[in-house]
Chains A and B, each alone.
Chain A
């Protein structure tokens, strides 16, 4: 009898611990999700809220036909290009804000860093394009397709199709491989979208 009571006591203890752990997990995960959602909501609703550090990019985005770039860049830079495309495609929907002027002036530096976009005219045009495609700040990128890439003088000009939850957009950008002393930098600059 004592044996059975001991076993029941310990199993109960174990059960309570496991339940506590599960409860603990449930409490933690939403904390992250909640912060991320609030941030996106703030960016959408208030132009004076700055974009915070990465909250959108979890893993590298799949890019179809990425090998086209190997004609112009070495394999290491191909990976670098995929990373840049991931950041570009992931952050692009944030530009579908309801207050483009306020949003742009509040985030001009980060918009330059993430998207290589520096003018209010380009930003407004992008904002219109995203809205016309029903892309919202909460849209998540599912994949990118490299439509074409070619060399023009010192630059590579590329067109990509970016697929979000319900829609896709076709965007152009310029890649510049810049040497500063012995250090090489690959930069991606937004060059507008195409209405299809």
Chain B
């Protein structure tokens, strides 16, 4: 080979090597440009000393994380209210509050110390467009853990697994009384019925105070009742009208009965 072309060939080789390096170095940026801004910024984050991409990923992409953060906002606001002894009633579902006739005192009643020091979520499930959350909570100076369920739907919560209220209006009348099953609140695994009873007789009428004084039938099972409204007597004096909230631990019973003055009557 002639000496006159040795040097240009050497320099040409150097140029090709440099161009090759430039091409490889640059191709990374081309990918970033083609795939948009997100990759570029993530790349910048990865190049920083402290990598926060995991946190960003959780906040932006991890559905469990941001769903739980959203749901927990209501739980934490609720327990902050419990601890301060002042629940923000606007947090609570108004339909639920109205049906259950709740006020701040009623909500705070289950908490003896007003100092919930911990709670942890056992499970959460999507029901009817909202979420039902089951958790354990613990109060200061008490080793026991208590089970509690909440529901969160839209921008409000309930401190029970409340789903919805349904209107019913089923009237049963006799010369002595008028019984109206007006509506029910549906929860994830039980229902509460509003039953209005008016005494039309000349004396008192008595509802059986036993477990099956109100009862629900579903299939071959008979469900006993729990009185959810304040512990009023089962006696109604002449002319008295009272609204009961009666809970049955089943969903969609086929029949509801009442034992009144010793007689079992179907009211729904």
Interface residues of A (CB under 8 A from B): 2-3, 6-7, 9-11, 13-14, 17, 21, 24, 28, 31-32, 35-36, 52-55, 57-60, 79-80, 82-84, 86-87, 109, 112-114, 116, 118, 152-155, 174, 176, 178-181, 185, 187, 189
Contacts and interface: CB of A to CB of B under 8 A. Distances in A.
Given A6-B5, A52-B37, A180-B68, A57 B15 contact: no
B41 A55 contact: yes
Interface stretch (B50-58, B168-176, B252-260): B50-58
Contacts of B29: 28
Interface in B109-138: 115-124
B80 interface: yes
B38 A53 contact: yes
Interface in B17-67: 18-19, 22, 26, 29, 32-33, 36-38, 40-42, 44-45, 48-50, 52, 54-56, 59-60, 65-66
A180 B11 CA distance: 65
B26 A24 contact: yes
A72 to B, nearest CB: 13
A172 B231 CA distance: 43
A114 B66 CA distance: 9
Contacts of A32: 32-33, 37, 40
Contacts of A31: 33
Interface in B52-92: 52, 54-56, 59-60, 65-66, 68-70, 72-73, 76, 79-80, 83
B218 interface: no
Nearest first, the 10 A-B pairs at minimum CB distance are A6-B8, A59-B48, A83-B55, A179-B120, A153-B83, A60-B50, A10-B11, A180-B121, A83-B52, A113-B66
Given A53-B60, A113-B60, A187 B69 contact: yes
B97 interface: no
A189 B37 contact: no
B12 A58 contact: no
A187 B48 contact: no
Contacts of A9: 8
Nearest to B133: A180
